[in-house]
Amino acid sequence: MPTIDLRDADAITELLSAGNIRYDSAMSDPLLVCTTTSEAEMRRLSGALAPRLKAGDVLRLQGALGAGKTVFARGIIQTLAGADEEVPSPTFSLVQTYDTRPAPIWHLDLYRLEKPNDIWELGLEDALETAISLIEWPDKADALVPPCALTVEIALIAETGRKVTFSSAGDHRQGWSRRLQGLKTEAQGIKT
């Protein structure tokens, strides 16, 4: 078993890109942690993130059933597509697409995905390059989700409360850190 220096970002990136190990966001320090007390606050938080997103961005939306992954995605989509945009959960369709600016949004729910390679039949390859990809249950196709993704871990802390933890890996960590600056201020009223 090879030994690597965990302070050597190039070595870690090489291992990750080889596909031999997967990145676990819980292993790194979070970029930002916020607490929401309502669905409206969750949408306000994700809505404040929306203008920071661009084509090629991937968000790994993680959390238990009912944690608020779709609510988080809905806030982003309605901020960029308009508040009247209907945003159903893509649980049964697996993917919903939205024509937005600065890039189209692909909202994927991989909960029902049987085999990781089935994701390519949905057209994910194109989405990863040209769209903003919001992926619920990304662990179902972990090896196919790029390491540049922003992980958004949503944990239940009360009936309506949620702890939202943002993290990213390797070389992409600094870029996401810069883009998340001021997010909690813009979301107004969200606790950190």
Residue 26 covered by a domain? no
Residue 15 covered by a domain? no
Q: Which two tokens stand for residue 72?
A: 């988080």
Report d(CA 49, CA 55) in Å as an integer.
14
The two counts, helices (H) then strands (E), for the chain are: 6, 7
Tell me the per-residue pLDDT of 24-41, one tens digit each, with 9 for 90 and over: 444 468 999 999 999 999
44 vs 34, 35, 97, 184, CA distance in Å? 12, 12, 21, 10
Tell me the per-residue pLDDT of 142-152, one tens digit each, with 9 for 90 and over: 777 888 899 99
Say how many domains are in the chain. Answer: 1
User: How many residues are listed for the chain in this entry?
Assistant: 192
Residue 89 covered by a domain? yes
Tell me the per-residue pLDDT of 82-123, one tens digit each, with 9 for 90 and over: 988 888 788 778 889 899 999 999 999 888 887 777 777 877
What beta strand segments (E) does 130-180 contain? 132-136, 150-156, 162-167
Q: What is the mean pLDDT of residues 160-167?
A: 93
Degrees, nearest 5: CA angle 126-149-27 = 150
Q: What is the mean pLDDT of residues 43-59?
A: 94
Residue 86 covered by a domain? yes
**pLDDT of 187 above 80:** no
- CATH number for the domain spanning 86: value is 3.40.50.300
pLDDT at 104: 96
Residue 127 covered by a domain? yes
Name the residue range of residue 128's domain.
Answer: 31-186
Residue 6 covered by a domain? no
Residue 20 covered by a domain? no
Residue 12 covered by a domain? no
**pLDDT of 189 above 70:** no
Average pLDDT along the chain? 82
